Amino acid sequence: MRKILITGGMGQVGSYLVDKFHSHSQVTVLDNLSSRSKYVLPEGVDLVKDDIRSSVAQDLVSDHDIVIHTAAQISVKKSMEDPLFDADNNVFGTLNLLEGARKGDLEKFIYFSSAAVYGNPEYLAVDEKHPVNPMSPYGASKLCGEKYCTMYHDAYGLPTVCIRPFNIYSPRQDPSNPYSGVITKFMERVSQDLPPIIFGDGMQTRDFVSVHDIVNMVLLLSEDRDYNGEVFNVGTGVKTSVIELADMIMDLFDLDMDIEFRDPMQGDIRDSYSDISKAKKVGYRPQIELKRGLKEISDTMFTAE
């Protein structure tokens, strides 16, 4: 039975990965519990409460077959306020795990980067060859982690692979996340008969991808040895405007009201959606349409409304 280490396994994406892998693998979660997650680990999954920058983390990595590295400082706002804190977690934390990987005999090191590495798109759809120009310390630190992963593959032969998720959503998402959190924020307001609030004209577009599709891509990469050293977009390839999203959510709650518009947020990216041609070569096919994914969130989080 393969031994799999999932960093940040109590978080939104990590917890779904735990659910997916634990039935056929020996799963250990490394998490400092900073997210205050209410997720309950399945029976048989070990939890190590520690930090990815610790010597304990290094030892854990060297003792596992597969490492799925989702743990990170994910707040763009926090990264703008404290770039050193962001880099300490996202750069040095990742580097610490890679050093642990050098001491073991890993089958795969899967690194979660972010579409934030692209910055403001120069063309659409965004493919992996698109210039990288992060607009925040968070985007810069995730890109730096990528570069270390690919360098460790080239220099040391480590079987690393990086994924760049676009706007992940799930019933376990954090409403404070400015990327996917808009879904929960819209639902919270609509469930209280309050109109969604949109910053700007609502025509800005995003690529909302279900956590279930992200998990399926990780599963594919964990079983494939042909794409080590590569970087993959993971999205749907479908653009959805924020105003379309608001209308979908109001339809879901069977409400019709005027949307409240406010001044656009400074630095907000106008349009972003992915080209997933490269991921399709691995066998990736997004399965969850946005309306279906939104219904899962409403059924899970707002059943009492």
> Annotated active-site positions, please?
138
DSSP string spanning 103-141? Answer: TS--SEEEEE--GGGG-S-SSSSB-TTSPP--SSHHHHH
- Give the integer Cα–Cα distance in Å for 95 and 88: 10
Residues whose CB falls within 8 Å of the CB of residue 81, separated by 6 or more in sequence, listed in order? none
Secondary structure tally for the chain: helices H, strands E: 11, 13
Structure tokens given for 135: 């607009």
First to last CA, the chain: 43
According to DSSP, residue 304 is labeled: T
Angstrom CA distances, 121 to 77, 96, 126, 135, stand at 20, 31, 7, 11
